[in-house]
Structure 1
Amino acid sequence: MTAADFADQLKTLDATLRNIEAVLDLDRLRQDKAELEQQASAPDLWDDQARAQQVTSKLSYVNGEIGKLEGLRRRLDDAHVLLELAEAEDDPGALAEVGTELASLHKAIEEMEVRTLLSGEYDAREALVAIRAGAGGVDAADFAEMLLRMYLRWAERHGYPTEVYDTSYAEEAGLKSATFAVKAPYAYGTLSVESGTHRLVRISPFDNQGRRQTSFAGVEVLPVVEQTDHIDIPENELRVDVYRSSGPGGQSVNTTDSAVRITHVPTGIVVTCQNEKSQLQNKASALRVLQARLLERKRQEEQAKMEGLKADAAGSWGDQMRSYVLHPYQMVKDLRTEEETGNPSAVFDGELDDFIEAGIRWRKQREREDGSA
């Protein structure tokens, strides 16, 4: 490519980045940072641990967003200076360096642009993720555990705090179900495209004849409930059972009746939490999950009413959305977006960003099409 081609690319990237800075409102982010820093420096901050964690989590997120935007702007300005030097000195090596940097910048700015597509009512919230083993016996339970690790690794890669509320272990291997929270702003908007049925094809490690096995697991992503949601649950609508935790745990986890199961009688929704040592902590965590499920149910009912359709609270569970094939070839493919990779190991180790970004773009495109229909 010529210097003129690179100059055109720089102009396009600059316009895209300016649009991102405007949509994400960089000035407002800087104001939020100043306010959060003031809150974080309060001497009584940790008197309320839940609020303290919320403040520090938001501050970390805002710092990250500002750092990304300012970093991209510096790189773009540096690339512009490097291009001018390459032209002035007629230096092919420097020109090639500009090309490499522009390719890297294009990908980074494209990734940042995805954040501007998260404008749904609950997109800015933290996320609750529930994983359940489906058809496939012990392989499905093992697959559910693989998915749990995959999402926790994804969150770890991004520096997002997580908290596992419940893990129900299967008899032979793996998990029957698991529920965890991703405590970062926009975690719900980002991960909501992961809802649906995931499918694994492989040679079963649990089959002594080495046969190929297909198994399924369901992923459900919910927005964390906030105080403004007004999800009131009368005590007489709840049935609370306590029992002894099962599976791996500390010395007091498995020896006391600390695990809690809450049934919401009117809807039949059941949630459990057993990962804390205290029965009160487990009950509080279970109530948070129940409120999130009821909020999602309310949202779906309102959406169904607007569309003149009957609500289906479990709609996303029946939608097969991604296949993970380990035999006879290696491939992970999203069935909605056609995004795919030949490296399943990397995906199971948390490299999900390409799939998530493609899913967000796909969802936004469908919203536009529905709006113009």
Structure 2
Amino acid sequence: MAGPDFETQIKQLQATMHTIEQVLDLDAIRAEIAALGEEVAAPDLWDDQANATRVTGRLSLLQGDLDRFTNLQDRLDDLSVLLELAQEESDADTMKEAEADLRKIHKAVEALEVRTLLSGEYDVRDALITIRSGAGGVDAADFAEMLMRMYTRWSERNKYPVEVFDTSYAEEAGLKSATFAIHAPYAYGTLSVEAGTHRLVRISPFDNQGRRQTSFAAVEVVPLLEQTDEIDIPDEEIRVDVYRSSGPGGQSVNTTDSAVRLTHIPTGTVVSCQNEKSQLQNKASAMIILKAKLLALKKAEERAHLDELRGDVQGSWGDQMRNYVLHPYQLVKDLRTEYETGNPQAVFDGEIDPFLEAGIRWRRGADTPADV
């Protein structure tokens, strides 16, 4: 029977949970929760709305982390009891139930372990994603729309809200570009490994001769800023253009000049928003996107300078990072982690967690300088 091996797996999971507990520093988390709880209880908390939002958000995040760990630890303890009961009574049905629980707990422990690797300054933030079609004509535009659907389906699976800021539709099919936010704790840290160039190989549905087509799309992921983040942009550095929204819409969206395009003159950074009904709302949303991208640009410049100082010669994150092959065989492969699957349809339906976990582990290894 699977008894001895079962016990070994449980012991390994318990050891991993112990390591996670040390990394998370649960005593420090509990102490911070207690301190934040006192701040939340103060009658004048909401006199300063920005601070109140920061305090309540931080409290909710820490409490969620603590509950996630303790609940998983309780499940693992219960599994040990269930296994002992099954062995004492030689109960095959109970053993089968325990095996099913073990698989679920193993997956949950792996996910929690990956979460402990998200320790970057902005990893905890919501993610702001921009997808742009690249080389490949209409197939590239269609591919960009497929990628947007992939990330929104992933969000739906996890019950994460998605907020679409801008969609620029291609003439024949698909998207020229799209910008949207995924609102969830650690969304940026988790999805930042998706940044780079994605490549699709398939028989083109837009080619009447049925030829194979290679197309590309670029994915950009930056952290969504909070109200407490200070990013000052002088008015003279921004050019504001307004225009009529395009694409699917209706009512007032497509009948007034409500869409807004902001250009940051010193860097040439351009963002747009057209999904709100009023010009004022679109301008406010576009400013959120612009600030997030300028912060990401600043961090990238700082990192590039540090890489130059320490002689880092690794390739850029903007390089091609994943292939989606639909013909002549079925394969999705990450070129950095070597993780792959033969089920592209599942990937396009949002089943990307294994790619995300492999990417996070890969990035942690790449970011850790070798001992000299």
- TM-score normalised according to structure 2 size: 0.88
Letter of the 2:172 counterpart? E
Partner of residue 84, structure 2: 84
The answer as to 2:107 corresponding to 1:107 is yes
Structure 1 contact 153–350 (Cα < 8 Å) conserved: yes
Structure 1 contact 155–182 (Cα < 8 Å) conserved: yes
The answer as to 2:338 corresponding to 1:338 is yes
Partner of residue 371, structure 2: 372
Structure 2 contact 40–56 (Cα < 8 Å) conserved: no
Partner SS for 2:165: strand
Structure 1 contact 259–274 (Cα < 8 Å) conserved: yes
Cα separation, partners in 2 of 1:61 and 1:352, compared to 1, 3 Å: farther
d(CA) in 1 for partners of 2:30 and 2:126? 18
**What are the residue-to-residue correspondences of 1:1-373 with 2, within 5 Å?**
2-26=2-26, 28=29, 32=33, 65-227=65-227, 229-308=229-308, 315-317=316-318, 319-368=319-368, 370-372=369-371
Letter of the 2:359 counterpart? G
d(CA) in 1 for partners of 2:55 and 2:350? 26
Structure 1 contact 132–217 (Cα < 8 Å) conserved: yes
Letter of the 2:86 counterpart? A
Letter of the 1:316 counterpart? W
Q: Offset of 1:116 from its aligned partner?
A: 0.3
Structure 2 contact 36–55 (Cα < 8 Å) conserved: no
Q: Offset of 1:108 from its aligned partner?
A: 1.9
Q: Offset of 1:284 from its aligned partner?
A: 1.0
The CA RMSD measured in Å over matched residues stands at 3.2
Q: Offset of 1:88 from its aligned partner?
A: 2.2
Letter of the 1:372 counterpart? D
d(CA) in 1 for partners of 2:120 and 2:331? 31
Which piece of structure 1 moves more, 334-343 or 54-63? 54-63
Give CA-to-partner distance per residue, 1:283-337, whole Å, 9 cap, x none.
Answer: 11111111111111111111122233699xx9533x1111111112221111111
Letter of the 2:317 counterpart? S
Structure 1 contact 225–291 (Cα < 8 Å) conserved: yes
Letter of the 1:355 counterpart? F
Structure 1 contact 129–222 (Cα < 8 Å) conserved: yes
Partner SS for 1:178: strand
Cα separation, partners in 2 of 1:353 and 1:64, compared to 1, 3 Å: farther
Q: Offset of 1:92 from its aligned partner?
A: 4.8
Partner SS for 2:317: helix
Q: Offset of 1:53 from its aligned partner?
A: 9.0
Give CA-to-partner distance per residue, 1:72-124, whole Å, 9 cap, x none.
Answer: 22321221112222332244554454344323322221121100000112111
Structure 1 contact 33–63 (Cα < 8 Å) conserved: no
Equivalent pairs: percent with the same residue? 65
Q: Offset of 1:163 from its aligned partner?
A: 0.8
Q: Offset of 1:8 from its aligned partner?
A: 2.8
d(CA) in 1 for partners of 2:261 and 2:61? 33
- Pairs aligned (count): 367
Structure 1 contact 204–212 (Cα < 8 Å) conserved: yes
d(CA) in 1 for partners of 2:259 and 2:147? 23
Structure 2 contact 169–177 (Cα < 8 Å) conserved: yes
Q: Offset of 1:200 from its aligned partner?
A: 0.8
Partner SS for 2:323: strand
Q: Offset of 1:31 from its aligned partner?
A: 6.5
Structure 1 contact 133–216 (Cα < 8 Å) conserved: yes
Any unmatched runs of 5+ in structure 1? Answer: none
Structure 2 contact 333–339 (Cα < 8 Å) conserved: yes
Structure 1 contact 141–175 (Cα < 8 Å) conserved: yes
Cα separation, partners in 2 of 1:200 and 1:2, compared to 1, 3 Å: closer
Partner SS for 1:308: helix
Structure 2 contact 166–179 (Cα < 8 Å) conserved: yes
Which piece of structure 1 moves more, 91-100 or 188-197? 91-100
Cα separation, partners in 2 of 1:355 and 1:37, compared to 1, 3 Å: farther
Structure 1 contact 131–177 (Cα < 8 Å) conserved: yes
d(CA) in 2 for partners of 1:200 and 1:57? 39
Give CA-to-partner distance per residue, 1:41-73, whole Å, 9 cap, x none.
Answer: x9x98xx8x999989987876665455434322
Q: Offset of 1:11 from its aligned partner?
A: 2.1
d(CA) in 1 for partners of 2:176 and 2:2? 58
Cα separation, partners in 2 of 1:196 and 1:118, compared to 1, 3 Å: same
Letter of the 2:81 counterpart? V
d(CA) in 2 for partners of 1:210 and 1:58? 54
Partner SS for 2:216: strand
